[in-house]
Amino acid sequence: MTTPSSELSSRRLDLAGTRDFAVAGAGPARRAALAAFNRQWLADIWANATGGSRIEGLALAAVGSIGRGDAGPLSDYDLVLLHSERSLPAKELTALADRIWYPIWDAGVRLDHSVRTVTQCRQVAASDLTAAVGLLDLAPLAGDEQLVLAARSTVAHDWRGNARKRLPLLVEAVAARHQRQGDLAQSIEPELKEAHGGLRDMTVLSALAEAWLADRPHGGVDAAQATLLDVRDAVHVVTGRGRDRLGREDHDAVAALLGHQDSDDLLTAVSHAGRVIAYALDGTLRRAGQSQRARTLRVGPRRPQMTPLGHGLFSSDGEVVLGSARLAEADAGMPLRAGVVAARAGLPIAPATLDNLASTSPLPDAPWPPWMRDLLGDLLAAGPGLVGVWEGLDQVGIVDRWIPEWASVRSRPQRSAVHRHTVDRHLIETVVRAAGLVRRVSRPDLLLVAALLHDIGKVRGAHDHSVTGAELTRPIVTRWGFSPKDVDTLVLLVREHLTLIELATRRDHQDPATVDAAIAAVGGDGDVFEILLALSEADASAAGPAAWTDWRATLLEQLAAAVRDRLAGPARVGVPVGVGDPAVVPSGVLDAGGLASVRAGEPHVRVIATGGSHRLDITDLDRVGLFADTAGLLAAESHTVRTAILRTVDGIAVNEWHVESPSGAVPDAARIERGLARLAQGDRGPLTTLDRRRAHHPRPSGRSSIGTPGQARALIVPGASSDATVLEVRAQDRPGLLHEIGAAFASAGISVRSAHIATYAGQTLDTFYLTGADGLPLPPARVAQAVSLIIDTCDGI
C-alpha cells in the first residue's frame, strides 16, 4: 500500500480539524480521530505486507506519540517490528520489514524503526535509558498483540526492578536536557517537547509512576499537557511541518487558530502550562528520591527525620512540612511563616503542606497587622531561595490571596530583547537582587516591596506600565498596612523605576538639567533617591546581561555621584562640570609636558579597564570632525562605543569614551594615538578596515516593510539641557554608523558635546548633545537641519 506524500499529509491535516481548533474540548477528540487514522493506516500497511495472513509470534508496535495516541498531525512514526526468534527466517523477516517501511517512506513520513525480539527489547532498555522510557509506551498496532504486551510488561518489570540504580541516571539525563533546551515557561520561542516543562517531561512523569517510586499528579498537569498538545498541533497545521518549537513568526497564526485574543495570550497560556508541568516533575522527582531512600537507607521503624525550623514547621527529607495540619487553621500568617523558613533554608515546601495552607489558612485582614507585614518583608529578604518557594505558593493560589493583581502579570511574556523572564518571574528575580542591596538603603522594606511591584502595571492595554503600576500599587500597599507616607513613597518608586537608568544611559550626567531631573523624580529626598538607585540596579540586573552591563553600571554610578554632590551641597549653576574649566586638563589628565605635546599635534590616549569594558581618555587638539574620526577609528578597531563625553578647554579636546570589545581585545592606546594623528593630517588610511566592512554591509533603503523597523527617527528632547540641543536617534544599526553621524554633524558645522550610545536587538538608541560653533544650543533653523541630516544619514540617503 503506497500513499503519495501529499495525500497522506492532507489526510492527517484534515483530521486535525482546522475549523474546530478553537472549539472547547476539540483537542482530545481531534487527537483520538488522528490516532485512529494512524492505527488504521498502519494496520492496512501490515495487512498488505503480510498478505492478510496471521503469523504467530509477529507484531507491529508503536512507541512515542503514536504509541501513546497523542501524535500531532505531522508527527513522526516510531515503530517496532516485534518477532519471536522462530516466527520467520531472517531473510523473510527482512523482506517483511521492507514491505512495511517502504510505503511509509514513500508517503513522506519520517520514520524511526527497528526489528527486535522481546529479549532484544529488554537488552536495549537495559543499556539505553532513553529507549527504556520509550518502550514503556509500547502499544500494539497489528499482529500478535500478546507478543507486544509481553515485551511491554517485561520492560516495565525490569524498569521497576532496577529503579534504585536508574533513578539517579534519569535525574541526570533530565537535568542535562533541561540545561540544553531551557525553561519552556520563560522562553519567547518555547521548545514544546524537550524544554523544562515540555511534553517530554510528561513522559518522565509516567515513567516514574511506572517504576512505582511516586504517583504522578493529575488534574492541573493533565490540563497543562492538553494545552501544549493543542499548541503543538496548531504549529504543525500553521507551518506544514512536524515542528515542536513555537517560533516568533508563527505566534499570531497559532494564536488565531486556537482562538486566543492575541499572541501574548497564547504565550501566557503556554508559559502557565509549562510551569505546571515543570513544578509537577520537580516535585515527583523529589517524591521518587524519598521513596527510594525509604526503601534502601532506613533501618528499623520508618520514622521520618524531622528537624525543627520554628513556628511548628520542620525540615523532612529535603522539604519543609507542617508538624500539625491544625496549625494553619487559625493563623493567616502561616503561609508567610512557611515561606520564610523554607526560602531561608533553601528548601521547597512539601506539596501536601502547600495544599493544607491553601485550604485551611484564613484570609488575612485588611489592612494587614504590622507583624504580618514584617513577615512579608522577611520573605522578600530571604534571597535566592525565594524563587522556588514563591513558585510553590503561587501554584496553589496563596499569592493571589496576598496580591489579587498578580493574576494579570502571571506568566505574561515580555518581548523586549533585554528581558529573559516572564513579568511575574522577573519581579521575583528583581526582589532576589534587591535583597543583596538592602544595606545600601535606609528602608530595606520599601526597596523590597517596590522590587516586587515595580512591573505590576505590565497588563493588557497599559500604555505606560510605570504609570499603570503606580496606580495599582497604591491599593496593594494600603491593604498591606503601610503608612500614608510610605504608600506615597512606594507609588513614587514604581512610577519612577525607569527614570534613573534612562537618564544615565540617554542623558549627559554632567549636565545640570540631567541632575535636576533625577532629583525631581524623588522629590529632592536623598533617602528615596538611594532606594530608587538600588531598585534601578536590581531591575536591570534581573532583566538579563543585555540590560546590566559594565558600561550601564558605570553610567548609573556617575549619575548617582553627581546627584549626591548636588544634594550634599550648593549646586553649581550655569555649566556642566568640565566645560569651560581650564583646570580640568592639567590636573585631571595630563601634566604640563603632556599638555605641551598635545598642543604640538600629538594625541594622548589613556586606557582604563572598568570590568568587562574600557574607558578611553583621549586628549587632542580640538577640530571639526574629531568626534567622527574617533568614532570611525574605534569602529575600525572593532570596539563598540557605549558612551562618549566630549569637553573642550582652551582649544584642547578632553574626551572620555567608554567602549566594549566583543573579541575581548584591550584597546591599544599607541595605535589609537597614531591613527588619530594620521586622520588629523587628512590620511584616511586608518579607516580602511571600516570602509571594507561597510562595503559588505547592506545599506538601509529608508522604506519600511514587514519585519523591518522602517525609517530612522530623530527627536529633539526639550528641556533636557540648558546648554545644548539634545537629539535622540533611533535607527537600524550598521558598521560605522556612529562615524557617519559624526561626519554629518561635522559637515554642517555642528559640534557634539557628548554622546550616549546604546544598541538593543540591532537598533540604536543614541542621544547627542549638540552645540553650534559658538558653543550655544542650536537655533530653530539649525535644529531642523540637524534632524533632517541625521534621518538621511541613518537611512542611507
Domains along the chain with CATH numbers: 5-161 (3.30.460.10), 165-296 (1.20.120.330), 307-402 (no CATH), 428-571 (1.10.3210), 584-794 (no CATH)
3-state secondary structure of 373: helix
3-state secondary structure of 371: helix
Instruction: For residue 640, name the pLDDT band (cuts at 50, 70, 90).
Output: confident
Mean pLDDT of the chain: 88
Q: Find the mean pLDDT for residues 18-33.
A: 73
Are 127 and 121 a contacting pair, CB within 8 Å?
A: no
pTM, entire model:
0.81
Q: Quick one: pLDDT at residue 754?
A: 85
Instruction: For residue 647, name the pLDDT band (cuts at 50, 70, 90).
Output: confident
Q: Strand pairing of 763-771 and 751-756? A: antiparallel
The cell for 185 is 515557561
Q: Is the pLDDT reported for residue 477 higher than 70?
A: yes
Q: Quick one: pLDDT at residue 697?
A: 57
Q: Find the mean pLDDT for residues 466-477.
A: 97
Are 350 and 323 a contacting pair, CB within 8 Å?
A: no
Upper half-sphere CA count for residue 740 (Cβ side, 13 Å): 19
Lowest mean per-residue pLDDT among 51-55, 175-179, 234-238, 624-628: 51-55
Q: Quick one: pLDDT at residue 188?
A: 93
**Residue 254 is which amino acid?**
V
Instruction: For residue 584, name the pLDDT band (cuts at 50, 70, 90).
Output: very low
Q: CA–CA separation, 329 vs 331, rounded Å?
A: 6
Count of CB atoms within 10 A of residue 533's CB?
Answer: 25
Q: What's the chain's Rg over C-alpha atoms?
A: 33
Q: CA–CA separation, 151 vs 157, rounded Å?
A: 10
Q: CA–CA separation, 706 vs 252, rounded Å?
A: 14
Instruction: For residue 630, name the pLDDT band (cuts at 50, 70, 90).
Output: very high
Label residue 353 exposed, middle or buried (CB < 10 Å: 0-12, 13-18, 19+).
Answer: buried
**Residue 678 is which amino acid?**
R
Are 459 and 409 a contacting pair, CB within 8 Å?
A: yes
Are 350 and 316 a contacting pair, CB within 8 Å?
A: yes
The residue to which cell 517485561 is assigned: 154
Q: What percent of the chain has pLDDT over 70?
A: 90
Are 43 and 142 a contacting pair, CB within 8 Å?
A: yes
For residue 384, say if its preceding peptide bond is cis, omega within 30 degrees of 0: no
Q: What percent of the chain has pLDDT over 90?
A: 62
Q: Quick one: pLDDT at residue 580?
A: 36
**Residue 536 is which amino acid?**
S
Q: What is the pLDDT of residues 117-131, one digit of tens each?
A: 999 999 999 999 999
Q: Quick one: pLDDT at residue 418?
A: 77
Q: Quick one: pLDDT at residue 708?
A: 40
Q: Is the pLDDT reported for residue 329 higher than 90?
A: no
**CA 158, 162, 163, 169 torsion-angle sign:** negative
Contacts of 475 (CB under 8 A, 6+ apart): none
Q: Is the pLDDT reported for residue 254 higher than 60?
A: yes
Is 17 or 750 the better-scoring residue by pLDDT?
750
Q: Quick one: pLDDT at residue 586?
A: 40
Q: Strand pairing of 751-756 and 640-649? A: antiparallel
Shortest CA distance to 97 belongs to which of 81, 117, 76, 118? 81
Q: Find the mean pLDDT for residues 755-775.
A: 80
Q: CA–CA separation, 514 vs 416, rounded Å?
A: 26
Return the ∠ at Cα 451 (arms to 445 and 456), rounded to 5°.
125
Q: CA–CA separation, 796 vs 369, rounded Å?
A: 63
Q: CA–CA separation, 384 vs 425, rounded Å?
A: 12
Q: What is the pLDDT of residues 332-357, one digit of tens each?
A: 999 999 999 999 999 999 999 999 99
> For the chain, give me the number of helices (H) and strands (E)?
32, 16
Name beta bridge partners: 80.
61, 114
The cell for 265 is 495570550
Contacts of 108 (CB under 8 A, 6+ apart): 4, 5, 6, 8, 9
Q: Is the pLDDT reported for residue 302 higher than 70?
A: no
Element spanning 527, H or E = helix 526-543
The cell for 208 is 516514574
Q: Find the mean pLDDT for residues 110-139.
A: 94
Q: Find the mean pLDDT for residues 456-480.
A: 95
Q: What is the pLDDT of residues 199-213, one digit of tens each?
A: 999 999 999 999 888
Instruction: For residue 77, name the pLDDT band (cuts at 50, 70, 90).
Output: very high
Q: What is the pLDDT of residues 688-711, one digit of tens each?
A: 888 887 766 555 554 443 334 457
Classify residue 666 by its DSSP letter. Answer: P
Lowest mean per-residue pLDDT among 145-149, 531-535, 566-570: 566-570
Contacts of 601 (CB under 8 A, 6+ apart): 621, 677, 680
Instruction: For residue 513, name the pLDDT band (cuts at 50, 70, 90).
Output: very high
3-state secondary structure of 732: strand
Q: Quick one: pLDDT at residue 775?
A: 86
Q: Is the pLDDT reported for residue 1 higher than 50?
A: no
3-state secondary structure of 610: strand
Instruction: For residue 548, name the pLDDT band (cuts at 50, 70, 90).
Output: confident
Q: Quick one: pLDDT at residue 704?
A: 41
Q: Quick one: pLDDT at residue 582?
A: 37
Q: Find the mean pLDDT for residues 599-618.
A: 87
Question: What values do phi and psi take at 742, rounded to 5?
Answer: -60, -40
Is 20 or 520 the better-scoring residue by pLDDT?
520
Q: Quick one: pLDDT at residue 304?
A: 64
Q: Is the pLDDT reported for residue 564 higher than 80?
A: yes
Q: Find the mean pLDDT for residues 444-451.
A: 96
Q: Quick one: pLDDT at residue 698?
A: 54
Q: CA–CA separation, 550 vs 615, rounded Å?
A: 11
Q: Quick one: pLDDT at residue 601?
A: 87
Most confident residue range from 170-174, 573-577, 585-589, 636-640: 170-174
Q: Is the pLDDT reported for residue 456 higher than 70?
A: yes
Q: Quick one: pLDDT at residue 700?
A: 54
Q: Find the mean pLDDT for residues 264-269.
A: 96
Q: Quick one: pLDDT at residue 628?
A: 92
Q: CA–CA separation, 543 vs 422, rounded Å?
A: 10
Classify residue 191 by its DSSP letter. Answer: B
Question: What values do phi and psi take at 708, rounded to 5?
Answer: -120, 150
Q: Is the pLDDT reported for residue 512 higher than 80?
A: yes
